[in-house]
Structure 1
Amino acid sequence: MTIFEQVIDRHKTRSVKWDLMEMIYGIEDASDILPMWVADMDFAAPKAVTDALHSRIDHPVFGYSYMCEGCKTAVQNWLKERHGWHTQNEWMLFHHGVVPAIASVIEAFTEKGDRILITPPVYPLFFSIPEKQGRLIVESILIEEKGNYQIDFESFEEQLKQGVKLFILCNPHNPGGMVWSKENLLEIIRLCTKYDTLILSDEIHGDLVFPGHQHIPLVTLAGEEADRIITCVAPTKTFNLAGVQAAVMIATDPEKREKLKENALAHGQMELSPFAAAALTAAYEDGGPWLDELLKVLSSHIDYTIEKITHAVAGVKINKPQGTYLLWIDYRDTGLTEKEIMDKLLMKGKLALEPGSKYGESGIGFLRMNIACPRQTLEDGVSRFITALT
C-alpha cells in the first residue's frame, strides 16, 4: 500500500477539516458527514519531512529559532528546478502562512480607504482581509463560459483607472483551477505598470499543476518591473503542511523588504518555529519524488470524479482543472438553489462541500470539492454526491 492509498483517521487531532464540522455547518451531529471542503489533503506528509521533524524533536530544547541560509537555499533550489525562477536568498522573508503574509503586505503598502483589486470568484480571504483592514475591495469579475474562466481585461483596466493601490493575483487560481498563461500574465504586468499598481502574487498552488500546463511565476516575466511584485509561496499546499505554518514572501526590492520587516516588528512577529524550519527545508530538499507521485494520483482522482458524477447526475458539469486539487462544480442546470443543494448534500448525501457564494456572488451556482484523499475516501465521497442528487 502506498502512502496515497493509506486511510488515516484524523478525528480528534484538532483538525479543522474533521473536528469542527458541527460549528462550520451548523449541524448538531456531523459524525456521519464526510468532509471534502477545506483545502488540506488527507495524505501523510513526505517521509523526509516526518523524519526531519522526529530528528528535531529528539533534541529536547525548543528555544527561539531562525530561518538559516540553508532554509533559504532549499527554497531557492526548488524554485529554480521546478519553475525556472532564479531567486536570491536575500529576497526572502518568512511568515507563518500565505494568509498572514497577504495581511502584512496589505497593511504595509496600503492605507485605509485604498482600493484593492481582486478577480472573483476567488479565495474568500481576498475579500475579508482587506475589508477587515478598512480597505475598499473592487472587483473585476472573471469571464465565465461553460465553466472556463478568462480575465476580463477591459473591466480590469477600468478598475485600475479609478486608482487601485494593490492587485491580488491568484495563480493558479482558486477555486477555478486555471493556470494563467504567459500572455495573461504579461498583460497584468503591462496594465499594473501603466497605472502604477503594486501586485501581490499568491502562488501557493504553483507546484500543483498537471501535465500540459506550466506554472509561470509572475515576477519572472516582469523584467524592469520586478520590484512592483511581491510573491508568496509555501510548502504547505504542496506537501500538506498547513498546520506547520510556514510561507515565504519574495521581493526583489530592498525597500519593500525593509517595510515588511518593519511591519513584522510592529506586530511582534517572531521567526518561524524550529519545526517549521525543519519541515520546510526537508520538503523542498527531498520532497520532489513524493510530489511527482501525488500529481499522478490527483489527476487520476479528478478524472474519476468527473466521469462518475457528470454521467450520474443530470445538470452537473465539471471541467478538469489545470492546477490545484480542487474541483469547481457547476450545478446551475439542475435548477437547485444553493441552499437546496447544500441541504441535499449534507442531509441526504452526508457530504460537506463548499458553497460557491463563499467565493463571491459570481460563484453562485457552483460548489468546491477537495479530491485530495485516498481513493477509498474519494469513491465514498463521489457515491455520497450521487446519492444526494439522484
Structure 2
Amino acid sequence: MSQLKYDFETLVDRFDTGSFKYDQMIKWNPEAADKKIVPLSVADMEFKTPPEIVDALKRYLDEHVLGYTGPTGAYLESVINWMKKRHGWEIEEKWIVSTPGVVGAFFMAVTALTKPGDGVIVMPPVYYPFYKAVDSGERVLVRNELKEVEGRYEIDFEDLEEKARDPKNAALLFCSPHNPVGRVWTREELEKVADICERNNILVLSDEIHFDLIMPGHKHIVFADLNEWTRNNSIVFTAPSKTFNLAGMQTSNIIIADPKLRSQFIREMNKTAVMNLNALGYEACKTAYNECEGWLEELIEVIH
C-alpha cells in the first residue's frame, strides 16, 4: 500500500453516541460493548469523517446562520462536476432534486410514479427497504430473483422478461451496484435490462447510492446514461453518504432528466411536506464533491 495522507487507523468510539447500529447491537447483546465488537448491520463506516468536511462545517458554523437553506449554484455545480468527473455522466442543473435521504426518495418515487395495485419488480436478495417501499404504497411486490451462477449472482433475464411483459407491472426498483450481493452490473447486463424495460414500458427507479465505492477492476455505468430511452425513463438515486460516511447529514440528490417525471416526483414531495435539506448537509456534500476525491481514492485502496 502506498503512503497514505489520511488517517484510516484511528477508530472513533461510537458507543453511547446515538449511533443506530451500535445502540441496536447493545440492545440485542449488552455484553458487546465490553468485547469491542464492531457491528456490520448498517452501511456506515468507522473511519473518521474526511477532515476537509469537518473544517468546512466548522467554518460554516462560524460564518453563517442556520436558517432555512436551499441549494446554491455552487452546490448544484459540485454535484454536476462530480457526476461528470467520476462517472462521465453529464447532467443538467434542473435535473437535480435534493432530498433528505435516498430511502425516503424511492418511497416517494414509487408512490408518485405508479398507481395503487401496480406491480413493482425487485431483484431479491435486495436491500430491505425496497420491499417496504412497494408494500407501504399499496403496490404489488413482484420478485425477479437473482440466480447464483458459479459463485456469483446474475440477473435472471428470462424471468425479468416474463415479469416485465405482464401489463399489471409498471416499474423496476433496481439496485446498481447491487446491495447486498455486491455486483457491479456490466454494460451488457444493463443494456439487457434497459431493452426489456423499454419494450415493455417499465419505468426504472435506479438506486445507485454505492456507485462511488467501486473496487479496482470494475467500472460502474449509470443506468440513465446508457441511451436516450434510459435518460428519459429512469430516475437515479445518488448521495454522498455511503462514499464519505455522511449518512447522518441526510443528504441525497435524485437525478431526473424527464420533466414530467420530475414534476410528478416534486409534487409527491410537496404532498408529504418534504422540503429542503438541512444547511450543513448542503455544505458537507459540496465539500465532499469539491475537495475529498483524494480521501476517496485512499479509502478504496484501504478497503481493497
Q: Given the two structures, how large is their TM-score scaled by the length of structure 1? A: 0.74
Contact preservation (8 Å) 2:8, 2:47: yes
2:11 matched residue in structure 1: 7
| Amino acid in structure 2 at the alignment position of 1:184 | E
- Structure 1 counterpart of 2:128, from 124, 127, 143: 124
Separation (CA, whole Å) in 1 of partners of 2:154 and 2:230: 24
1:64 matched residue in structure 2: 68
Contact preservation (8 Å) 1:235, 1:283: yes
- Structure 2 counterpart of 1:297, from 282, 286, 302: 302
Deviation of the 1:60 alpha carbon: 5.9
Q: Percent of aligned pairs with the same residue?
A: 37
- Structure 2 counterpart of 1:41, from 40, 45, 51: 45
* CA deviation map 1:206-255 (0-9, x unaligned): 00001111000011112244211100110000000000000011011111
1:112 aligned onto 2:105: no
* CA deviation map 1:358-385 (0-9, x unaligned): xxxxxxxxxxxxxxxxxxxxxxxxxxxx
Contact preservation (8 Å) 1:91, 1:250: yes
1:88 matched residue in structure 2: 92
Q: Given the two structures, how large is their TM-score scaled by the length of structure 2? A: 0.94
Contact preservation (8 Å) 2:198, 2:229: no
Contact preservation (8 Å) 1:244, 1:275: yes
**1:176-215 → structure 2 map (5 Å cutoff):** 176-215=181-220
**1:1-390 → structure 2 map (5 Å cutoff):** 2-23=6-27, 25=28, 27-32=29-34, 34=37, 35-59=39-63, 61-163=65-167, 164-299=169-304
SS in 2 for 1:252: coil
SS in 1 for 2:34: coil
Separation (CA, whole Å) in 1 of partners of 2:149 and 2:231: 32
Separation (CA, whole Å) in 1 of partners of 2:149 and 2:270: 46
The 10-residue stretch of structure 1 (189-198 or 218-227) with the greater mean CA deviation from structure 2: 218-227
The 10-residue stretch of structure 1 (217-226 or 171-180) with the greater mean CA deviation from structure 2: 217-226
* CA deviation map 1:125-154 (0-9, x unaligned): 111221112111011111103430110100
Separation (CA, whole Å) in 1 of partners of 2:108 and 2:179: 20
Separation (CA, whole Å) in 1 of partners of 2:129 and 2:297: 29
Contact preservation (8 Å) 2:15, 2:33: no
Contact preservation (8 Å) 1:189, 1:222: no
Decide which structure has the larger Cα Rg and report it: 1
| Amino acid in structure 1 at the alignment position of 2:120 | I
Contact preservation (8 Å) 2:84, 2:90: yes
SS in 2 for 1:20: helix
* CA deviation map 1:248-270 (0-9, x unaligned): 11011111111111111111111
SS in 1 for 2:133: helix
Separation (CA, whole Å) in 2 of partners of 1:132 and 1:146: 36
Contact preservation (8 Å) 1:182, 1:216: yes
| Amino acid in structure 1 at the alignment position of 2:101 | G
SS in 1 for 2:89: coil
Contact preservation (8 Å) 1:172, 1:206: yes
| Amino acid in structure 1 at the alignment position of 2:291 | D
Contact preservation (8 Å) 1:186, 1:222: no
SS in 1 for 2:153: strand
| Amino acid in structure 2 at the alignment position of 1:297 | V
Count of aligned pairs between the two proteins: 297
| Amino acid in structure 2 at the alignment position of 1:272 | L
The 10-residue stretch of structure 1 (109-118 or 140-149) with the greater mean CA deviation from structure 2: 140-149
State the superposition RMSD in angstroms.
1.4
Give the ranges of 4+ consecutive aligned residues of structure 1 lying more than 6 Å apart after TM superposition.
none
| Amino acid in structure 1 at the alignment position of 2:47 | F
SS in 2 for 1:41: coil
Separation (CA, whole Å) in 1 of partners of 2:64 and 2:113: 40
* CA deviation map 1:292-318 (0-9, x unaligned): 00000001xxxxxxxxxxxxxxxxxxx
Separation (CA, whole Å) in 1 of partners of 2:271 and 2:164: 30
Separation (CA, whole Å) in 2 of partners of 1:274 and 1:74: 15
